[in-house]
Amino acid sequence: MTQEILCEVNNCKFWSHGNKCSAKSIYVVSKQGKTAASSEETDCKTFVPRG
């Protein structure tokens, strides 16, 4: 299955040209252990600052 993951966080290590995410997998969790009702209530744990 081909997937396209888009990301606008250009200071992330996995950000690629065209707002593409180059991470092999994505890990997203709900904030503060609650059940998320919207995207604002989630956090991407895949994020790694460019360095």
Q: Which whole number is the average pLDDT over 19-43?
A: 94
Q: Which whole number is the average pLDDT over 14-26?
A: 96
| Tally of domains within the chain | 1
Say what the pTM is.
0.79
- Name the band, by pLDDT with cuts 50, 70 and 90, for residue 1: low
- Rounded to 5 degrees, φ, ψ at 20 are -100, 145
pLDDT at 2 over 90: no
Q: Is-contact 12 50, C-beta < 8 A?
A: yes
Range of the domain at 4: 1-51
For β-strands 20-21 and 15-16, DSSP reports them as: antiparallel
Mean pLDDT of the chain: 93
